[in-house]
Amino acid sequence: MTPRRTISFSMPLARLIRCAAVVALLGLAGCASVPQNSGPVDQPDDSSLRSLRIADSAAASEKGSPIENTVAGLRRSQRQLSQSASGARLPTVELPPPLLAKPVDLTRESEDLFQRIRNGFSMPDINTDLVLYHQQWYLNRPDYLRRVIERSSRYLHFIVEELEKRGMPTELALLPMVESAYNPMAYSRAKASGLWQFIPATGKRYNLDQNWWRDDRRDIVASTAAALDYLQSIYEMHGDWHLALASYNWGEGAVARAVNKNQAAGLPTDYLSLTLPNETKNYVPKLQALKNIIGNPALVAELDLLRIPNRPYFSTVTPTSNIDVKIAAKLAEMPVDEFLALNPAHKGPVIMADTPLIIPTDKLDTFVSNLEEHEDSNKPLSAWKSYTLRPGDKLEKVAPRFGMTVANLKAVNGIKGRINVGPGVTLLVANRDGAPAGDLTALPNTPRLPDADPEPATRAYTVHKGETLAAIAKRFDMSVAELKRLNHLRADKVAAGSRLVVAEAKEKPTAQAASAQPRKAQAAKTPVETKRASASTQKAKPSKVTRYTIRRGDTLTSIAKQFNVDTDDLLRWNRISPKSLIPGQTLTIYLAQNP
């Protein structure tokens, strides 16, 4: 007989049941009889095992102590097993199949573009007071968020696709919300333009053409490729996405110097530990705030943000001949404004041949079909063509040659005032079979770059003994923060004899300030205006000051040309030599008032 085991009543119930089961199995092994002429004992079939499990369950449900119920159940199980071995057939009960978890296809993409973006989040999170401040700022303005998301719906899928191709974090798809609010026509005081806000010099460095016909900084496809190239290069420089973003905003040279400064002082060199200007200090927290909002599906639903489908919004097609903006929009059967929202790089009425057009995916077949039908009917695709002036050409002679008035010719080409147009200048003229003389209806209502916000009129001021920043700011109707920002001050104290840049006091305007007009940022120049600017030697008195941070690739000449000032003035204002320009260095530039 199998020796008995003493079971302590203080054992946990689970352990007690396991011990009882072992006792039963040992008893079965010792007491079961095996016929002499049989082979190996057959294992209980599945139906027997199921019956045993049912019996155990029934026993467990009976009243009594856990030990009594367990022993009784084991005895019943032993009797049933003996009957099965002797040939008796046990009753069978059909058990339902086990409930299995529904399989999840991890390779299937979500139908929600925001979910796809969430899946690609890979930047480390930051949690600071600035993040909470900007997050609350966005949440307090749900209408603004909805407008930004609605604008982004045209471009977001394309940008996410490009990021995934490069293995870059999908948080970067939210960066144009910080840069431009996803407005491809956005234009800053620093002359940055487009979704990704390229300044002219950086745009040229990344092969974004900027001429009278087009500005590729506003081109959705070209500017996105340039922005991702730039972000990749500065990430490889720093090995940190937060530092890469700071470099995108402030300049890689400036961030590198801030890192080196902390290294020399034995301080951490992460983004949150660097001394940064206010704009850069708020830059990454803004992106993190948007990430927190978009990353929360319940919050997105509560804010009633547009649900963007995870499918391409647009496709591209390349006509082989010039085509008018209005005709292209008509062939796509869409409003001109909507067409320009997808093709914002084009500044004139004509899109040059072999230039890719962006057309909504659901209208691509319509556009191609209508284009073929238009060409089969021998109708011109453009009412305009280009003409390069030759020696001896005058506007008065060129205009009639193409069935135009001089006034129309000037209006189409942005010629204002008495400008001498010389040989080599390319003009837009009417096609012989295109726009009739005096008719400018073929011109689209192309959105123009908005003027930059004018800087307040400023002047220099020498600090007197005993004066504080608060007193100086109050005297010139400024805030202390504005005074410190204008003069790049960090401390709240200023030494006597220091020269500060201050705003002209509103209550006591000088004659010069009263007569001076704020100089607006130049919009895209026509070839004629560019020629006039380069030939002009007339100087005007400075009426306002601006700051410019040198970018990699900038030269003294390119900066002077960008702000329409002389290189000698740049050297004199900043007390520098031509060979001392360093990326990240800030220059003071006095802008001349318009003549």
Domains of the chain: 13-85 (no CATH), 113-302 (1.10.530.10), 314-372 (3.10.350), 458-515 (3.10.350.10), 536-592 (3.10.350.10)
Average pLDDT rounded to a whole number, residues 519-538 = 41
342, 359 Cβ separation under 8 angstroms: yes
Query: Which band of pLDDT confidence, cut at 50, 70 and 90, is reported for residue 446?
Result: very low
**pLDDT for 284:** 97
9, 41 Cβ separation under 8 angstroms: no
Angle at 120 between CA 118 and CA 126, to 5 degrees: 75
DSSP 446: P
DSSP 434: S
Tell me which residue of 220, 231, 253 sits closest to 346, measured CA to CA: 220
Q: How far apart are the C-alpha atoms of 389 and 552, rounded to whole Å?
A: 37
Question: Three-state SS for 250?
Answer: helix
Structure tokens at 119: 């899946």
Average pLDDT rounded to a whole number, residues 298-315 = 96
Quote helix, strand, coil % in the chain, to nearest 5. 45, 10, 45
Name the catalytic one among 94, 162, 171, 179. Answer: 179
Query: Which band of pLDDT confidence, cut at 50, 70 and 90, is reported for residue 165?
Result: very high
- State the CB neighbour count (10 A cutoff) for residue 400: 12
Q: How far apart are the C-alpha atoms of 424 and 445, rounded to whole Å?
A: 28
Q: How far apart are the C-alpha atoms of 473 and 475, rounded to whole Å?
A: 5
Query: Which band of pLDDT confidence, cut at 50, 70 and 90, is reported for residue 101?
Result: very low
* 148, pLDDT greater than 50: yes
pLDDT higher at 133 or 17: 133
**pLDDT for 269:** 96
Give tens-digit pLDDT for 49-83. 344 344 444 444 444 555 455 445 555 655 554 55
**pLDDT for 571:** 77
Q: How far apart are the C-alpha atoms of 454 and 544, rounded to whole Å?
A: 9
Query: Which band of pLDDT confidence, cut at 50, 70 and 90, is reported for residue 175?
Result: very high
**pLDDT for 543:** 42
| CB-count exposure of residue 387 (10 Å: 0-12, 13-18, 19+) | middle
Q: How far apart are the C-alpha atoms of 571 and 578, rounded to whole Å?
A: 7
Tell me which residue of 381, 369, 340 sits closest to 357, measured CA to CA: 340
Query: Which band of pLDDT confidence, cut at 50, 70 and 90, is reported for residue 583?
Result: confident
**pLDDT for 198:** 95
Average pLDDT rounded to a whole number, residues 302-312 = 96
Please, which residues have CB within 8 angstroms of residue 189's CB and are 6 or more apart in sequence?
A: 452, 453, 455, 521, 546
pTM score? 0.59
DSSP 215: B
**pLDDT for 553:** 74
**pLDDT for 213:** 80
pLDDT higher at 2 or 569: 569
**pLDDT for 160:** 98
**pLDDT for 366:** 96
Angle at 256 between CA 252 and CA 262, to 5 degrees: 150
**pLDDT for 31:** 43
Query: Which band of pLDDT confidence, cut at 50, 70 and 90, is reported for residue 94?
Result: low
The answer to whether residue 162 is catalytic is no
**pLDDT for 110:** 83
* 450, pLDDT greater than 70: no
pLDDT higher at 386 or 269: 269
**pLDDT for 99:** 47
